[in-house]
Amino acid sequence: MKQEGKYRPLFDRLSSNRTDEVTLSLTEIEAILGDALPPSARTTRGWWGNRDRGSLQAAAWMEAGYQVQEVDLAAGRVVFRKPRRQYEVKRAGGTVLWNGDLVRALRDHMGASQAQLAENLGVRQQTVSEWENDAYLPTRATSKFLSLVAERAGFNFGNDETREEGSSPNSS
């Protein structure tokens, strides 16, 4: 998200929110932006679409971890909701094997940017991006640290439902 973009204040507002759902009136959004929304935002549901990350407005809420769930143009309100992420948790020798989906889910849970998570872990932002894009996986040592950070953040990554990689569901 560009630092100086028109929709940056909306990104900042949503990024700092710790709830899974945010309802804002169009008037509130304009107050957050400090500027009027374009006329099409008040008349066209498509303006609020989640498909085009290339649009500046969609980038604001999607990069903040939200999607537009509901648009009521007559009432002048928009509901943003964090999508529920499905991820598989694998273990080896008691260590969670962190993959891109799981790293992203942790970051979303923490309401952190890639740069913020990177700072928390002592790695570069690019490293977090590469993990999330599955360019490569965190090392076992980093995976243990990620698990500690997740536990401290109250992130439930399926401790009770997961099993060790290669084990059957009925083994103990």
The burial class, CB within 10 Å (0-12 / 13-18 / 19+), for 16 is exposed
Residues of the chain with CATH 1.10.260.40: 90-152
What is the structure's pLDDT at 170? 33
Compare 9 and 107 and report the one with higher pLDDT. Answer: 9
pLDDT in tens, 15-71: 898 888 999 999 999 999 999 999 999 999 999 998 765 688 998 998 888 999 999
The class level of CATH for 90-152 reads mainly alpha
pLDDT in tens, 145-169: 999 999 988 887 664 443 222 233 3
What is the C-alpha to C-alpha distance for residues 144 and 38, in angstroms, rounded to an integer? 47
User: 33, 27, 72: which is closest to 56 by C-alpha?
Assistant: 33
